[in-house]
Amino acid sequence: MAVNAVAVDGLSMSYRVPVREAGLKAAFRTLVHRRFREVQAVRDLSFEIPHGEVVGLLGPNGAGKTTAMKLMSGLLHPTAGSVDVLGYTPWQRRTPFLQQIALVRGSQPTGGAQELTVLDSLQYQRVLYDIPDADYHAGLDELAGLLGLGPLLHRQLRALSLGERMRAGLALSLLYRPKVLFLDEPTLGLDVSAAAAIRRFLSAYADQSGATVVLTSHYMADVESLCRRLILVDHGRVQYDGPLERLSARLSPYKLLRISAPAAAKEDFEGVAEVVATSGVSWELRVPRDDVARVTAHLLTSFHVIDLAVEEPSLETVLDRAYREGV
């Protein structure tokens, strides 16, 4: 077995989109003479993802993330470059490849006939992927328990809420135990409780199954709870590939200290740390990374400290700076 589950090399994808001026005359002119412009969605992407790794593919809107996911899952054919997923070229759409990968989209978690019940859809999936009966029933029991599908099994897909459709969609995608899972905005539109439940399930599934997971999401809680590695894409190109901690250290020259000290006053922190926020006896301080140890020692010896915590800046802060200023 190859070391990498996914290998992307020099991947590019461009589209031709029609262009016309506003107005009725311009509309008539396009009937005779259509003009187009080239849109480069992905530019020379290259990266490798080992088996069993969970990776966040991140970037601002229009960065090329979803296009890259569609290319890796075989829904699109690239303009240039190559992709190898489990030893297959995705856009050739060979049956052994399709039986080992799954693409789950938050905007459309369940496909097929919406008149079918969840159980009917799962049974159809069993036939489609030729899942042995014993494996089907074991998988159904496991997924029904983990995703709380019991009350949903006999309801039609079209009657499910968005959160329920996402749970059903995950069950449909994982029933045949794919080795590579592409997740495109898996918690899109879900409330806090439903999103947290999906994250807990995906984390447990990745740990237990050893599946390779590629995730795109604008919800940083998804990324922080699931991904150990980030690939940042902007304007169709890879801008960063590595752990979050290294990116944070590169782009944020400070850490946050949260301290509870009843006797402290704002002037006590002058020349020591920048006060970001305060609430009662609690203080949030911004401290240069190189000064954290010194400042922490000073605070502990100068005040009656009830609680003290050192934190990295939020992922939103780090990524915002990465998108605005580059890596």
pLDDT digits (tens, 9 = 90+) for 115-164: 889 999 999 999 988 999 999 999 898 888 878 888 889 999 889 888 88
pLDDT-based confidence at residue 254 (cuts at 50, 70, 90)? confident
Query: Shortest CA distance to 233 belongs to which of 315, 319, 314, 318?
Result: 319
Beta bridge partners of 183: 104, 215
Could you tell me if 154 and 119 are in contact, meaning their C-beta atoms sit under 8 angstroms apart?
yes
What is the sign, positive or negative, of the torsion defined by CA atoms of 125, 218, 289, 278? negative
Indicate if the pLDDT at residue 56 is higher than 70. yes
Give the per-residue pLDDT at 24. 74
Q: What's the confidence (pLDDT) of residue 238?
A: 87
Q: What is the pLDDT of residue 92?
A: 94
Residue 6 pLDDT = 94
pLDDT digits (tens, 9 = 90+) for 59-93: 887 788 888 999 999 999 999 999 999 999 999 99
| pLDDT at position 223 over 80 | yes
pLDDT mean over 303-313: 83
- Tell me which fold the domain 253-311 belongs to: Alpha-Beta Plaits (3.30.70)
Cα distances (angstroms) measured from residue 54 to each of 104, 205, 226, 305:
15, 11, 7, 39
Domain boundaries, the chain: 4-9+43-248, 253-311
Q: Which residues, in sequence order, are bridge partners of residue 307?
A: 260
The answer to whether 248 and 223 are in contact (CB under 8 A) is: no
CATH architecture of 4-9+43-248: 3-Layer(aba) Sandwich (3.40)
Does residue 232 contact residue 327 with C-beta atoms inside 8 Å? yes
Distances (CA, A) of 69 to 22, 105, 142, 244, 305: 33, 10, 28, 21, 49
Residue 107, helix vs strand vs coil = coil
Per the CB < 8 A criterion, the answer to whether 78 and 11 are in contact is yes
Q: Which of 14-23, 194-203, 234-243 has the lowest mean pLDDT?
A: 14-23
Average pLDDT, the chain: 85
pLDDT at residue 234 is higher than 90? no
Task: Calculate mean pLDDT across residues 293-316.
Answer: 83
Order across the sheet with 180-184: list the strands: 101-105, 180-184, 212-216, 54-58, 229-234, 237-243
Rounded Cα distance between 24 and 232, Å, is 42
Coil vs helix vs strand at 167: helix
Residue with tokens 């890596």: 327
Least confident of 25-29, 80-84, 119-123, 230-234: 25-29
Q: What is the pLDDT of residue 182?
A: 93
d(CA 318, CA 252): 7
Predicted pLDDT at 326: 64
Instruction: Quickly state the pLDDT bin for 46 (edges 50, 70, 90).
Output: very high
Q: What is the pLDDT of residue 327?
A: 63
Give the model's pLDDT for residue 325: 65
Q: Provide the whole-model pTM.
A: 0.77
Cα separation of 232 and 319, whole Å? 9
pLDDT band at 109 (very low <50, low <70, confident <90, very high): low
Please state the rounded mean pLDDT for residues 247-257: 77
Q: How far is CA 46 from the centre of its chain?
A: 18
| Pairing status of strand 274-279 against strand 282-288 | antiparallel
**Environment class of 150 (CB within 10 Å of its CB; exposed 0-12, middle 13-18, buried 19+):** exposed
Q: At what angle do helices 192-209 and 133-147 cross, to 10 degrees?
A: 140
Beta-bridge partners for 80:
12
The DSSP H or E segment spanning 127 is helix 118-128
